[in-house]
Amino acid sequence: MRLDALISQIAAPVLVLLVLGMMLLPLPPLALDALFTLNIGISILVLLLALSIRSFKDFIAFPSVLLLTTLLRLSLNVASTRVVLLEGNKGSDAAGAVIQAFGEFLIGGNFAVGIVVFIIVTLINFVVITKGSGRVAEVAARFALDAMPGKQMAIDADLNAGIIRDDEARQRRAEVSQEADFYGSMDGASKFVRGDAVAGIAILVINLIGGIIIGLVQHNMDFASAIRTFATLAIGDGLVAQVPALVISTAAGILVTRVATDEDFSGQISNQFAANGHALYLAGGVLGLLGIIPGMPHFAFLTFAILFASLGWLLARRRDKAAATVQAQESIAAAAPEELKWDDITVTEPLCLELSYRLIPLVDRNDDSDLIKRIRAIRKKFVGEVGFLIPSVHIRDNLKLPAEAYRFLLYGAEVGRGQVITDRLLAIQPSGRVDPLPGVQVTDPTFGMPAVWIQAQDRDTAISRGYTVVDPAVVIATHLDHLVRLHAHELLGRQETQNLLEHFKNRYPKLVEDTVPKLMPLSTLQRLLQLLLEEGLPVKDLPTILEVASESAAKTPDPVELLPRVRYALRRSIVQEAFGEATEYRVAGVHPDFERLIEQAIGINAVAPEGAIEPGLVALFAAEAVAAVDELETIGLLPVIVTSNRTRLTLSRIARRVRPQAVVLSMGELPPTAPLVFQRVLCARTENK
């Protein structure tokens, strides 16, 4: 460890220990002079720092410095009290030259005047400065804590909008937290200074009374000599401690009362007086009028009247010169407009959640909020079940939304919207007839089921009647989970596909290298995975997908033609996902005549091009698919439709357009010995045209 780093680490602990040691160890008068001088110098230094800094962030350690300086003064008081009481009979210089100077020179040797001056200085410090700065710090700390959620939301909004970067957002969050901590610490530190003032009065009284008693009893001094000697020492000791305390308190008051800008204290005052120079003219005029009144001190009033008027003229001249400079710079800037940069382009976030102002409390605790935790859980669950990492959900406020509304954006376009009441619970009505509940009747934003927003105290009643009761965070999170799975194929971009390959490359390096890009480009693999996701299939078994692609990509490079081969390779997972542990497969089928019509429209293509199928046939199958899906879901079955391999993709797209939850399988994907039971046959009355 370097020597300077070691000194930096041990300097503060050693200083604190030395200060505490001064209360116990006797100090000679010469040491007291040096330490009292150091105390005065430190107080002046702190005051100058408070005047020169631009914001509390430049002096964040001030509360701790305030504590240490207070402790230093009290330690010096204890040390000087010991010397005053032990050696005070020897004269006013017994406790050192500094105490003697404050006791004799500053108050002219009149201890009565000294007591009055000491009391006035102490009252100014205790009643005026310390109490006022403590009140300001208390109010500032309360306001800073109240404003913290809003400031953090503003930072998150800037981050989500791309205005700031992650490191700048972390820095701004730290500054918001530091502001609240600083003013809270200042509120507590001001109590130290107030206690110091009370202790100063007590020490003065103790030194005065104790010194007189010791002088009379132990040193046989006469009363006049005893009171003159010990009063001078006690007053000098009190003033030499209270004057630095007054300076430190002034620095604390300046620090907590000023508003943070890009200027120091002197710059703020001069610029604000310069902006209001007419006030100086008025003040000079009033002083001039008072100066010409008979009986008034003409010289003093007229001198300061001229001084104020001259100062106003100088500031006005400087203001006009600065305005001319700014105008010239604006003219130059207008003549040469700034060129646009690539940084001016706003990046559209893939997935975004916008909240109205009333829903901000759902996320105002950031990582500790229930909604944030649920969104993270959704992303983690999606990775495990589907097989790739979706982009982060960027959360921001939108004041244009209705008071209790939220919406989800996919690449800047709205894909879902809902409404929640933050102080209520959503009770989703079960199927069948149930007793109604008091509350706001709505529709579940995720699945469109009838629901009601109830009071928290009605939760047990709703559960007992068969309702599913969830809180607002669960409503939003469930809606997000549904939309993410519905639009998963749109969230799998080129970069996500590359990241997925890099992940599997560590375990299957040869397979990945031989397939992409040797046999198929990355874009083809991306499109193939998107087709799987579009039909609700996971892509977590990427090795199997790559195996099929490596075998067939050279013959059939079209992702649409590769899709049936990949689905056949994944058939066990597809069937298990569709039927679970069922002993028989109860499905809806498609009439062979209708399948032949669709095959004729498809021709040699794997899927029918736009407009190739007669609109009447599309409408017929869509209506039949709606009826079949609703019938299967009513009896508690997964809505599975079985058709031929050639028509599967075309009919799947038509069915999922009207019922996104529909699952369309080909006969080839089912096990050969599958115990099929057809609950319904679609398009059975179609005539072969």
- How many structural domains comprise the chain? 5
Report whether 151 contacts 176 (CB < 8 A).
yes
The reply to whether 99 and 231 lie within a common domain is: yes
The highest-confidence range among 30-44, 316-330, 642-656, by mean pLDDT, is: 642-656
Pick the range with the lowest mean pLDDT from 269-278, 290-299, 465-474, 620-629.
269-278
Report whether 475 contacts 375 (CB < 8 A).
no
pLDDT computed for residue 347 by the predictor: 77
Both tokens of residue 427?
Answer: 């009770």
- Model confidence at 195: pLDDT above 80: no
Asked if residue 562 is part of any domain, the answer here is: no
Mean of the pLDDT values across residues 271-300?
A: 71
The reply to whether 96 and 236 lie within a common domain is: yes
Asked if residue 340 is part of any domain, the answer here is: no
pLDDT computed for residue 93 by the predictor: 64
Contacts of 124 (CB under 8 A, 6+ apart): 246
CA torsion 306-308-311-312 (nearest 10°) is -110
For the chain, the residue count is 689
User: What secondary structure does DSSP assign to 362-380, as a single string?
Assistant: GTTTGGGSHHHHHHHHHHH
Last residue of one domain, picked from the residues 501, 525, 556: 556
| Long-range contact pairs involving 449-458 (C-beta distance under 8 Å, separation at least 24) | 451/426, 451/427, 452/426, 452/427, 453/421, 453/424, 453/425, 453/426, 453/427, 454/424, 454/425, 454/426, 454/427, 455/424, 455/425, 456/423, 456/424, 456/425, 458/425, 458/427
Contacts of 378 (CB under 8 A, 6+ apart): 477, 480, 481, 484
Last residue of one domain, picked from the residues 556, 590, 611: 556
Residue 341: what are its φ and ψ, rounded to 5°? Answer: -125, 165
Residue 609: what are its φ and ψ, rounded to 5°? Answer: -70, 165
The reply to whether 527 and 623 lie within a common domain is: no
Report whether 197 contacts 126 (CB < 8 A).
yes
- Model confidence at 96: pLDDT above 70: no
Mean of the pLDDT values across residues 249-278?
A: 64
High-pLDDT (> 70) share of the chain, %: 80
H helices present in 438-570, as ranges: 459-464, 472-486, 488-491, 494-505, 509-515, 522-534, 542-552, 559-569
Both tokens of residue 292?
Answer: 């010409």
pLDDT computed for residue 487 by the predictor: 93
Mean of the pLDDT values across residues 384-408?
A: 91
Predicted confidence band at 268 (pLDDT cuts at 50, 70, 90)? low
- Model confidence at 34: pLDDT above 70: yes
The reply to whether 323 and 397 lie within a common domain is: no
Asked if residue 406 is part of any domain, the answer here is: yes
Asked if residue 21 is part of any domain, the answer here is: yes
Asked if residue 419 is part of any domain, the answer here is: yes
Asked if residue 459 is part of any domain, the answer here is: yes
Pick the range with the lowest mean pLDDT from 209-213, 221-225, 295-299, 683-687.
683-687
CA distance 405 to 354: 9
More confident residue, 351 or 78: 351
Mean of the pLDDT values across residues 279-306?
A: 75
Predicted confidence (pLDDT) per residue in 626-652, tens digit? 999 998 988 888 899 999 888 888 899
pTM: 0.53
**What is the number of alpha carbons within 13 Å of residue 396 lying toward its C-beta?**
20
- Model confidence at 23: pLDDT above 70: no
Predicted confidence (pLDDT) per residue in 538-562, tens digit? 999 999 999 988 888 777 788 888 8
Contacts of 579 (CB under 8 A, 6+ apart): 585, 638, 640
| H helix count then E strand count, the chain | 24, 12
Both tokens of residue 624?
Answer: 């039949």
Q: Which of 63, 64, 75, 93 is nearest to 38 (CA)?
A: 75
pLDDT computed for residue 3 by the predictor: 59
High-pLDDT (> 90) share of the chain, %: 20
Last residue of one domain, picked from the residues 435, 467, 490: 490
Asked if residue 565 is part of any domain, the answer here is: no
pLDDT computed for residue 610 by the predictor: 46
The reply to whether 444 and 505 lie within a common domain is: no
Predicted confidence band at 483 (pLDDT cuts at 50, 70, 90)? very high
The reply to whether 482 and 538 lie within a common domain is: no
Pick the range with the lowest mean pLDDT from 498-502, 524-528, 614-618, 620-624.
614-618
The reply to whether 527 and 477 lie within a common domain is: no
User: What secondary structure does DSSP assign to 441-470, as a single string?
Assistant: EEE-TTT--EEEEE-GGGHHHHHHTT-EEE
Predicted confidence (pLDDT) per residue in 111-165, tens digit? 677 777 777 777 777 677 777 777 777 776 676 677 677 777 777 777 666 667 7
Pick the range with the lowest mean pLDDT from 474-483, 490-499, 591-600, 607-616.
607-616
Buried b (16+ CB within 10 A) or exposed e, 115-136: bebbeebbebbbeebbbbbbeb
Q: To the nearest whole number, what is the mean pLDDT of the chain?
A: 79
Q: How far apart are the first and last CA of the chain?
A: 91
CA distance 410 to 348: 9
Pick the range with the lowest mean pLDDT from 211-215, 339-343, 375-379, 552-556.
339-343
The reply to whether 422 and 394 lie within a common domain is: yes
Pick the range with the lowest mean pLDDT from 106-115, 412-421, 674-683.
106-115
Both tokens of residue 414?
Answer: 């709205």
Work out the number of other CB atoms within 10 angstroms of the CB of residue 98: 21
- Model confidence at 580: pLDDT above 90: no
Both tokens of residue 486?
Answer: 């519905």
For residue 577, give the CATH number of its domain: 3.40.50.12790
- Model confidence at 107: pLDDT above 70: no
What domain range includes position 660? 570-689
Predicted confidence (pLDDT) per residue in 444-455, tens digit? 999 888 999 999
CA distance 497 to 389: 10
- Model confidence at 509: pLDDT above 60: yes
Q: Which of 77, 71, 70 is nearest to 27 (CA)?
A: 77
For residue 357, give the CATH number of its domain: 3.40.30.60
The residue with tokens 């730290």 is: 174
Mean of the pLDDT values across residues 31-47?
A: 79
3-class state of residue 564 by DSSP: helix
Contacts of 160 (CB under 8 A, 6+ apart): 349, 352, 394, 395, 396
pLDDT computed for residue 259 by the predictor: 58
Helix (H) or strand (E) holding 640: strand 640-643
Peptide bond into 543 cis (omega under 30): no
pLDDT computed for residue 614 by the predictor: 82
Q: Which of 175, 169, 145, 174 is nearest to 157 (CA)?
A: 169
- Model confidence at 105: pLDDT above 70: no
Work out the number of other CB atoms within 10 angstroms of the CB of residue 633: 14
The reply to whether 355 and 366 lie within a common domain is: yes
Asked if residue 146 is part of any domain, the answer here is: no
The residue with tokens 């046989």 is: 220
Report whether 511 contacts 547 (CB < 8 A).
yes
pLDDT computed for residue 110 by the predictor: 67
The reply to whether 98 and 27 lie within a common domain is: yes
The reply to whether 362 and 478 lie within a common domain is: yes
CA torsion 257-261-265-269 (nearest 10°) is -100
- Model confidence at 82: pLDDT above 80: no
User: What secondary structure does DSSP assign to 409-447, as a single string?
Assistant: EETTEEEEEEE--TTSEEEEPPSS-----SSEEEE-TTT
Mean of the pLDDT values across residues 650-659?
A: 90
Predicted confidence band at 529 (pLDDT cuts at 50, 70, 90)? very high
The reply to whether 326 and 408 lie within a common domain is: no
User: What secondary structure does DSSP assign to 171-198, as a single string?
Assistant: HHHHHHHHHHHHHHHHHHHHHHHHHHHH
More confident residue, 285 or 183: 285
